[in-house]
């Protein structure tokens, strides 16, 4: 039976709180030690169980980070490698987890720039704050909130990044609309996420893995493109990078915000909660 949006979000929050506790040694029995229990599906080993996210960071980048930030990496890509950040820019990392991408971004934008991390899970925020302090990243600001309602003013961010989080949202239309709202005109996104091949139904995605394991909630490539276009983005690209399950892939999503659009023009698929999942 499909869960409601609120129940699913709470399940996601619980799972990632447990992952954060596993990294700090406070976990009570997921048995995987490093937080990698987040991808519990056999289909999702490429995302979490094999610590795939961590492997996507160059040794040089890992060297810039506290060990706990690397251990807490639960992403499916490396958005800082594609976002082309510049000195002085304001960056927002959606679902910042243990802080790996927000800390790397802070270094890229330098002392005149700002790196915001947004997450809904207290345990992840505490871990990221600890890691940012260890990395002496004074320009990191961690915010508590949900990516469907970003707690920042309109047109206040140059670049939005995110690593394996948008698939976990129960209202993707709201997320894409909020990204467009907070970006300055000409602002850009560099996002890593799981995407399904076009034509894979919601039920088929759910057969390949759970919602909390970053599989069942993945948009298809076409749905991502249509959603971004409806939210006011141009120069959209969804580039598949690696297979995570049959017909499902890690991908890099890039686009530029050029104009505003009304959320009512969002395709229906992005406004569903969790049809066919779990
Ligand atoms: C798969 S982890 C990825 C963490 C981090 N981006 C990384 O690469 O290690 C997902 C993170 O997103 C957060 N998250 C999931 N759904 C969210 C939502 N709707 N709003 C805010 N944070 C959310 C979780 O708390 C968790 O920290």
What are the E-state strand segments in the chain?
Answer: 90-94, 114-119, 140-144, 157-163, 183-196, 219-220, 233-245, 248-257
Q: What is the pTM of this model?
A: 0.88
240-254 residue pLDDT tens: 999 999 999 999 999
Work out the pLDDT band at 265, boundaries 50, 70, 90.
Answer: low
Among protein residues, the one with the nearest Cα to ligand 1's atom 10 is: 165
180-192 residue pLDDT tens: 999 999 999 999 9
229-243 residue pLDDT tens: 999 999 999 999 999
10-20 residue pLDDT tens: 999 999 999 99
Is the pLDDT assigned to residue 80 strictly greater than 90?
A: no
Is the pLDDT assigned to residue 30 strictly greater than 50?
A: no
Token code pair at residue 200: 């894979």
Structure-model confidence comparison of residues 130 and 30, the more confident one: 130
Ligand 1, CB within 6 Å, residue ranges: 9, 12, 16, 38, 53, 73-75, 95-98, 100-101, 119-121, 124, 146-148, 163-165, 168-169, 214
pLDDT score, position 41: 45
Among protein residues, the one with the nearest Cα to ligand 1's atom 11 is: 95
Token code pair at residue 270: 């992005």
Work out the pLDDT band at 21, boundaries 50, 70, 90.
Answer: very high
pLDDT score, position 221: 98
Overall average pLDDT of the 197-209 stretch: 97
The neighbouring-strand residues paired with 196 are 220, 248
Cα–ligand 1 centroid distance for 95 (angstroms): 4
């Amino acid at each position: 039976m499909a869960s409601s949006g609120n129940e699913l979000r709470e399940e996601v929050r619980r799972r990632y709180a447990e992952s954060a506790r596993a990294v700090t040694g406070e976990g009570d029995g997921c048995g995987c030690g490093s937080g990698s229990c987040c991808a519990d599906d056999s289909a999702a080993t490429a995302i979490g169980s094999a610590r795939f996210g961590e492997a996507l960071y160059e040794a040089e980048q890992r060297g810039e980070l506290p060990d706990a930030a690397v251990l807490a990496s639960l992403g499916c890509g490396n958005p800082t490698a594609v976002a082309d950040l510049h000195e002085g820019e304001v960056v927002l990392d959606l679902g910042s987890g243990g802080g790996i991408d927000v800390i790397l971004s802070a270094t890229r934008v330098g002392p005149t720039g700002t790196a915001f991390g947004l997450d809904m899970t207290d345990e992840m925020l505490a871990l990221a704050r600890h890691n940012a302090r260890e990395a002496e990243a004074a320009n990191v600001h961690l915010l508590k909130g949900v990516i469907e309602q970003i707690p920042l003013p309109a047109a206040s961010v140059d670049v939005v990044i995110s690593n394996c989080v948008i698939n976990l949202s129960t209202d993707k239309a709201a997320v894409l609309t909020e990204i467009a709202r907070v970006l300055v005109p000409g602002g850009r996104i560099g996002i890593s996420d799981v995407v399904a091949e076009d034509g894979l139904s919601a039920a088929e995605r759910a057969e390949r893995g759970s919602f909390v394991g970053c599989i069942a909630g993945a948009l298809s490539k076409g749905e991502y493109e249509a959603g971004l276009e409806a939210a006011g983005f141009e120069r959209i690209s969804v580039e598949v990078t690696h297979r995570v399950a049959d017909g499902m892939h890690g991908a890099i999503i890039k686009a530029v915000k050029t104009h505003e659009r009304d959320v009512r023009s969002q395709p229906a698929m992005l406004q569903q909660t969790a049809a066919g999942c779990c």
